[in-house]
C-alpha cells in the first residue's frame, strides 16, 4: 500500500493560455463549468466556502452554487448557521471549485452579501419538498440531542404542511459572493502548472497576471 508521501499524479490533460481567457474571468469560468457538465462530473457546482470569525478563526465547508451572473456566485443556507454568523460579522469570503477529474481548480475571493428576499423566495419554491421541510427542521450548526430530534421535527412539519405549501423560513436564504479575485489553475506535467489570476480594478476592469506554480 502506498504511503501518503507516495501519492501523486502527473497532470497532463491540457494547458491554460492567456488566449483562453479573452472573454474575461467570468467567461472563462462559465466555459470551464460547461466542460465539467459535459464531462459528467458529480456535483460540478459543489464549492468549498471559507469564512472567518471576527477573531480570525477560519472555517470551511462544501456548499452548492445555485446561481451565477455578472454580479457573482450565489448559494443558499441558514442565516443562523456558523457560516451565516461569520458572514454577518466578517463579510469577506473565498470559494474553491475542486474539479479534480479535469485537473482544474478555480479560487474566488470577494465580499459576501445577502441576496434579496425575492431571490430567496424564488429559489426556495423550486426546492424539493423534503429540502423545504429540512430548512425548518434543522437548527443548523446547533447542538442537538440526537438523530431522533431531526426526524421528529421533520415528521411534525410534514403533518403541519400536508399540501406541501411550505413557506420559506425567515432565517433561510441566499448569499452572493462578489468576486474581486479569480484564479484558474490547470495541472501540467512536472508540477509546472498553469495559474492565471484576475484582479478586479477600481474601474471594474480585470487585471490578468500569470502566477508561478
Domains of the chain: 11-125+169-210 (2.30.110.10), 128-167 (no CATH)
Three-state secondary structure call for residue 33: helix
User: How far, rounded to the nearest angstrom, does the alpha carbon of residue 207 sit from its chain's CA centroid?
Assistant: 23
Position 119 pLDDT exceeds 90: yes
Among 30, 31, 191, 210, the active-site one is: 191
23-26: long-range pairs with CB below 8 Å, 24+ = 24/198, 24/206, 25/179, 25/182, 25/184, 25/198, 25/206, 25/208, 26/68, 26/70, 26/179, 26/182
At residue 8, the pLDDT reads 83
122-135 pLDDT per residue, tens: 999 999 999 999 99
Terminus-to-terminus CA distance in the chain, angstroms?
Answer: 29
Q: What is the pTM of this model?
A: 0.94
At residue 124, the pLDDT reads 97
Is 191 tagged catalytic?
Answer: yes
Q: Which helix (H) or strand (E) holds 212?
A: none
C-alpha cell at 188: 501540467
152-207 pLDDT per residue, tens: 999 999 999 999 999 999 999 999 999 999 999 999 999 999 999 999 999 999 99
At residue 10, the pLDDT reads 85
Amino acid at each position: 500500500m502506498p504511503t501518503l508521501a507516495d501519492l501523486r499524479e502527473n497532470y497532463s490533460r491540457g494547458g491554460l493560455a492567456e488566449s483562453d481567457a479573452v472573454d474575461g474571468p467570468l467567461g472563462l469560468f462559465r466555459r470551464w463549468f460547461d466542460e465539467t457538465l459535459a464531462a459528467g462530473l458529480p456535483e460540478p457546482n459543489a464549492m468549498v466556502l471559507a469564512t472567518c470569525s471576527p477573531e480570525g478563526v477560519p472555517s470551511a465547508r462544501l456548499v452548492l452554487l445555485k446561481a451565477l451572473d455578472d454580479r457573482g456566485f450565489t448559494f443558499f443556507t441558514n442565516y443562523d448557521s456558523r457560516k451565516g454568523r461569520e458572514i454577518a460579522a466578517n463579510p469577506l469570503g473565498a470559494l474553491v471549485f475542486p474539479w479534480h477529474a479535469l485537473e482544474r481548480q478555480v479560487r474566488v475571493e470577494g465580499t459576501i452579501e445577502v441576496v434579496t428576499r425575492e431571490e430567496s423566495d424564488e429559489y426556495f419554491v423550486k426546492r424539493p419538498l423534503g429540502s423545504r421541510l429540512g430548512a425548518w427542521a434543522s437548527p443548523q450548526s446547533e447542538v442537538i440531542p440526537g438523530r431522533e430530534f431531526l426526524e421528529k421535527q421533520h415528521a411534525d412539519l410534514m403533518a403541519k404542511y400536508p399540501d406541501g405549501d411550505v413557506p420559506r423560513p425567515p432565517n433561510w436564504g441566499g448569499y452572493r459572493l462578489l468576486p474581486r479575485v479569480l484564479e484558474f489553475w490547470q495541472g501540467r506535467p512536472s508540477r509546472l502548472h498553469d495559474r492565471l489570476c484576475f484582479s478586479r480594478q477600481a474601474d471594474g476592469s480585470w487585471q490578468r497576471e500569470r502566477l508561478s506554480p
